[in-house]
Structure 1
């Protein structure tokens, strides 16, 4: 009883504060940090688009709009036409966006797949996905290297 009373007096008759949990950003959160909140309609005039489908926790399907070969905007859903679509696991995308890895090991282990388009378009799309790791966009403005 004495120990309980000392605890109550020490903590002003409140329970001790709950330890704050650390929120680990997922693939979607990291992607939105880079390109801003996903929108339903584009606000940016883009010269190229490609789809990004992420499988796993924090995954989803998006269309990335690009200006000057750099992703600048994130749209909800995959493109409706025959635009190339990159399929990648959420874990690989998280590592890429957190700058823990690049796409080279993922490509060697076939952890990244591109559907649609011709060979040149697929290579170009993979280069643009690789650029997501070291760039930041602010409100649809072109990405700037860190």
Structure 2
């Protein structure tokens, strides 16, 4: 199994991407703006090849265990990112919810100069088991690339 994030659009302070697992589109992702110089909690993660793991520590994990009790095995963390820590694929709708993490959604909107994702919880529930399966594979890979379409 392989996973890929393809960035397709950039706006004033946001970046819109598509998540693929085994070459099949799963959902949209929302990140902060791509910046040459990182601003903490306001910068998209870099392009490259990284890994996924389950992180079972911290407050976000405790909250998700409460909200997604039957499904939750840990936060899906993107690892191996230079100068970034604790980057999770999680729920949220606007760049105010990202803090540098990709947010998932089944749809997107363009409002006030930025992208937003919609139906985030439904998208998360659908992709979470697939990402857990990937995270459990040793030496798994997540490729992040830019291919701006609009």
Report TM bin, short chain: under 0.3
Which one has the bigger helix percentage?
1
Q: Which has the larger radius of gyration?
A: 1
**TM score, norm. by length of structure 2:** 0.27
**TM score, norm. by length of structure 1:** 0.27
